[in-house]
Each structure stands twice: as C-alpha cells, then as structure tokens.
C-alpha cells in the first residue's frame, strides 16, 4: 500500500508543480488511508485515489476593475470544482494576496472530506482571487466583486456549484456578488451563494457557525475523557469571524479565552477577552488588534514571537494554513495544552500534527473541527429551497447535532481501522469512504 500511495503522491507533485499546500493536503490524506485500503482493496483497484486527487474542473480567469482614482487594476480569479459525487460543489471564496491555484486546490481537496463528514449531500470546491479588500473603499470592493462574478456566474448555480465566504469575503462581498449574479441571470436564485444577509435568504447562525463548531468539537473530544471546557484557559489565533465566534462559544461553555491575533501581532488579555469590544473593533470599525489594547486596561499587544507562546489548556488555531508549526506545537505542549481544535483550514504543519499525535493529546483536524461553517451553509441552502427561515435556536440546535455526529463518525472510523482516538485517521477515513462508495456507484466519470 505504501508503494501505491507514494506513486500517486509523486504523480500529484509532478502534475501540480510549485503547489506545496496542495501537496501537503494530499499527502496527509493518502498517508492516513492505508488501513482503509488494506481492508477495502477494491477502492484502489477502481483507481479511486487517482481520480480523487484530480479536480473535475479548474477555472482561472482575469478580473479587470477600476479603482477610485480611475486606474485599471487586474486580478486573477479561481474556482476549482473538485468533486461532485455527493452533490453540488460547495466551498468558500477567499480574497487575499496569497491566493493562487495551489492554495485553492488544497482548500478544495480538504473540502471534499469536510463536506462528506456533514452528511448533507454537498461536494467539494473552492475559489477566490489574489485581490486584497483590506483598505479598499466600498465602491472599489463592489466594482471588483461585480467583475469577478461576471465571469464566475457562468460556472455556478444552486444545483451545480454554491460558493460562500472565506478569508476576505464577508457579508459585504457576498451581497455585491449576489446582486451581480441576479442581474446577469435575471433570476432570484437565493441558493447560489451562502453567507447572505438575513433579509435576502441568509441563515441565522451562519456567521457564528465555524467558530462555534470548532469549540463544540473540542467539547465533544473532552467529553470522551469525562471533562468539559468549564474553567479551561484558551488561546485563539485570528480575529475574524471564526476567531470571534470561537471566543464567544468558549465563553458560553465556561472557558476563558485570553488571546486573539492579526497580522500586526497578538493580544494577551489575562482577564479574559472583552468580546463586545473585540466585535466593535473588528466587525464595526474594521480596525486592528492594537485598537483593542488602547481601550482595554490590562491587555497587551505582542509583536514578537507567536500567540502559541502563551500557556493554556486549549488551543484554537483560527487564522490561516500552516500558522502552527512544530516548534509552536512543542511550546504549547510545554505550556500544558491538552486540546487542539482547528478552526482554520490546515493551520497545523505536519510536524505540529506529529507532535500532538506523539503526545497523545486531543487533536481535532480542520476537516472535522471547522466543518460547522459549511454545515450551516448547507442548512442555508435547505432554507432557501423551502423559502423559509428558522429561528436562531433551531439553526444552532441543528449545527450542534451535526458537529456531534461528525465527532462520533470520526471516533467510530478510528476504532474501526485500529487507531482509537486518532481523529486525523477518523476524519479522513469517514469522509473518504462516503465519497468513494458513491464514486463507485457512479462509474468511471
């Protein structure tokens, strides 16, 4: 089996040159599927692994737009429709200067298994652009989004491909894109985008879902040890939607989050994060974490080192890929960390994951722990189909149930394949088998 995996991985590297994040995501999945293929060799015999690592469709396009000074700007847009075995492609759009085809492919590949774990009939995809909305006026963001959607619209639809938000894409950007899609198609297809405003097809809990889900997954992992989050000290990275609402849910469950971060540094607030102030700074003012420190006595801004230098019981990486490396993992472990639940996509490097595994702590990989966002996006699609809207309690209860089911699926798969407590194997095995069985049923397509 190892020879088979290595051969497939070498093909991926050769075909997808200079895409290290995609290579990393593929290797992590392939290396954990050995026990699955050993027990079910027909998956390998049908060429499922080779098919799974090759996207069904990759779209790259030019996005021209005009800035406020009248100058023409040109960005690059992407959409990778990776796998539609379980349903329409589903995955966010990321607007950030770091975006390239390799980043989008890594995210889309992860999305296949994450979406499968939700058991909601959605396939895997991802998209975005190297456009940076930070510091741009609303008019500039609108013109960019309209140009971006002018091309993207021909490739998406409620039963084909349903994008959502991600880094750099919030309610403002989704609104501009939906308006342009509606204009182009002359059709109010509410289900074509998720993360919409509540007045025009959005779902309650969607904003909170990814952060809430990561904390709920941590709570489920702790429950296997007879523990809860009550009284636990928590370090959180990031200061966007995921981080803010991870902090909120952790506080609701009795924990004390003491950090958050952005590209300017990280904040340590030993008294516990003032959530309302953080929301004001980041969501209303679109400010920096330093603005929080200026108004919060006792909080301090640290511009050197890493947020993972702060001792805590629980770590919630909620910023971006590969933010937590092997050295940071060792520091966390020395500081007494016993639980890591990934709110971001692949935030831990392979060295960090190995350190957590060797230490035997509870580690929830992103494809399971941060699936709450896409799960609630699918709930939004369900509401759009029925032209209805649930109240907050109903939507949150559904999210809570889905996260519990994802956790239990991971636990059951890890036990089935001989590695109890290994959530990485559990998530990959459970997600893979759901997709693989349907791919077999659909034939060679």
Q: Which two tokens stand for residue 177?
A: 């894109």
Strand partners of residue 341: 364
150 assigned binding-site residue: no
335 assigned binding-site residue: no
349 assigned binding-site residue: no
Strand partners of residue 94: 128
Average pLDDT over residues 164-170: 94
Average pLDDT over residues 374-395: 97
Report whether pLDDT(98) > 70.
yes
What pLDDT is recorded for position 325? 98
Average pLDDT over residues 441-445: 96
Determine whether 126 is an active site residue.
Answer: yes
What pLDDT is recorded for position 328? 98
What are the pLDDT digits (tens) for 241-294? 999 999 999 999 999 999 999 999 999 999 999 999 999 999 999 899 999 999
pLDDT-based confidence at 161, cuts 50/70/90?
Answer: very high
Q: Would you state the CATH architecture of domain 55-189? A: 3-Layer(aba) Sandwich (3.40)
What pLDDT is recorded for position 3? 82
Output the pTM of the full model.
0.95
Distance CA 200, CA 219 (A): 33
In the chain, which segments carry CATH 3.40.50.720? 209-369
Q: Residues near 171 by Cβ (< 8 Å), separated by ≥ 6?
A: 165, 195, 196, 197, 202, 207
Distance CA 48, CA 288 (A): 46
111 assigned binding-site residue: yes
Q: Are 440 and 51 in contact (CB under 8 A)?
A: no
Other CB atoms closer than 10 Å to residue 146's CB: what's the count?
A: 18
What are the pLDDT digits (tens) for 105-155? 999 999 999 999 999 999 999 999 999 999 999 999 999 999 999 999 999
Q: Are 207 and 245 in contact (CB under 8 A)?
A: yes
Strand partners of residue 301: 267
Q: DSSP of 247-300, one letter per residue? A: HHHHHHTT-EE-EEEETTEEEE-TT---HHHHHIIIIIS---HHHHHHHSTT-E
Task: Sheet containing 259-262: give its strands across.
Answer: 259-262, 265-268, 300-302
Other CB atoms closer than 10 Å to residue 105's CB: what's the count?
A: 25
What are the pLDDT digits (tens) for 32-54? 999 999 999 999 999 999 999 99
Q: If we measure between CA atoms, which residue out of 441, 427, 442, 439 comes closest to residue 115?
A: 427
Strand partners of residue 316: 236
What pLDDT is recorded for position 245? 98
What pLDDT is recorded for position 86? 98
Distance CA 225, CA 287 (A): 40
The DSSP bridge pattern shows strands 161-164 and 72-83 to be unpaired
Distance CA 224, CA 369 (A): 15
What is the average pLDDT score of the chain? 97
Q: Residues near 70 by Cβ (< 8 Å), separated by ≥ 6?
A: none
What pLDDT is recorded for position 19? 97
Distance CA 260, CA 38 (A): 43
Q: Are 163 and 91 in contact (CB under 8 A)?
A: yes
Average pLDDT over residues 51-61: 98
Report whether pLDDT(66) > 90.
yes
90 assigned binding-site residue: yes
Report whether pLDDT(1) > 70.
no
Catalytic one of 39, 105, 126, 249 = 126
- In the three-class reduction of DSSP (H, G, I as helix; E, B as strand; rest coil), residue 193 is classed as coil
> What are the Cα distances from residue 232, in Å, to 215, 312, 365, 403?
12, 8, 20, 21
In the chain, which segments carry CATH 3.40.50.10860? 55-189
The DSSP bridge pattern shows strands 259-262 and 265-268 to be antiparallel
In terms of phi and psi (left: phi > 0; alpha: psi -120 to 50; beta: otherwise), the region of 363 is: beta
Report whether pLDDT(2) > 80.
no
Average pLDDT over residues 14-29: 96
Q: Does domain 209-369 have CATH number 2.60.40.420?
A: no
């Amino acid at each position: 089996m190892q020879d088979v995996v290595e051969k497939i991985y070498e093909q991926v590297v050769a075909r997808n040159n200079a895409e290290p994040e995609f290579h990393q995501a593929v290797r992590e999945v392939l290396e954990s599927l050995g026990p699955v293929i050993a027990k079910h060799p027909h998956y390998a015999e049908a060429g499922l692994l080779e098919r799974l690592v090759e996207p069904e469709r990759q779209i790259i396009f030019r996005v021209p737009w005009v800035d406020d000074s009248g100058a023409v700007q040109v960005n690059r847009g992407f959409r990778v429709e990776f796998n539609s075995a379980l349903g329409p492609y589903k995955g966010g759009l990321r607007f950030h200067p770091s975006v390239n085809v390799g980043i989008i492919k890594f995210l889309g590949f992860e999305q296949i298994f994450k979406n499968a774990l939700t058991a909601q009939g959605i396939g895997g995809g991802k998209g975005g652009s190297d456009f940076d909305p930070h510091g741009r006026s609303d008019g500039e963001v609108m013109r960019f989004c309209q140009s971006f959607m002018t091309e993207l619209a021909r490739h998406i639809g409620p039963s084909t491909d349903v994008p959502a938000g991600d880094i750099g894409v919030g309610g403002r950007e989704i609104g501009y894109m939906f308006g342009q899609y509606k204009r182009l198609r002359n059709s109010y297809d509410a289900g074509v985008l998720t993360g919409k405003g509540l007045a025009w097809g959005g779902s309650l809990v969607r904003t909170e879902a990814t952060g809430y889900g990561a904390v709920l997954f941590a709570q489920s992992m702790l429950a296997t040890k007879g523990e809860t989050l009550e009284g636990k000290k928590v370090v959180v990275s990031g200061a966007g939607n995921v981080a803010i609402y991870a902090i909120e849910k952790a506080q609701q469950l009795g924990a004390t989050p003491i950090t958050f971060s952005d590209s300017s540094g990280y904040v340590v607030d030993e008294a516990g994060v003032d959530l309302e102030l953080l929301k004001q700074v980041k969501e209303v003012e679109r400010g920096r974490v330093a603005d929080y420190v200026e108004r919060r006595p006792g909080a301090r801004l640290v511009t050197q080192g890493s947020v993972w230098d702060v001792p805590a019981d629980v770590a919630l990486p909620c910023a971006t890929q590969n933010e937590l490396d092997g050295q940071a993992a060792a520091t966390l472990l020395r500081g007494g960390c016993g639980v890591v639940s990934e709110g971001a996509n692949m935030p831990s490097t392979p060295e960090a994951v190995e350190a957590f595994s060797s230490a035997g702590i509870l580690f929830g990989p992103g494809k399971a722990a941060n699936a709450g966002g896409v799960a609630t996006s699918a709930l939004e699609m369900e509401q759009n189909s029925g032209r209805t809207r649930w109240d907050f309690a109903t939507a949150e209860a559904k999210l809570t149930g889905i996260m519990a089911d994802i956790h239990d699926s991971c636990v059951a798969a890890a036990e089935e394949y001989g590695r109890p407590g290994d959530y990485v194997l559990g998530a990959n095995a459970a997600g893979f088998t759901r997709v693989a069985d349907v791919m077999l049923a659909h034939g060679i397509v």
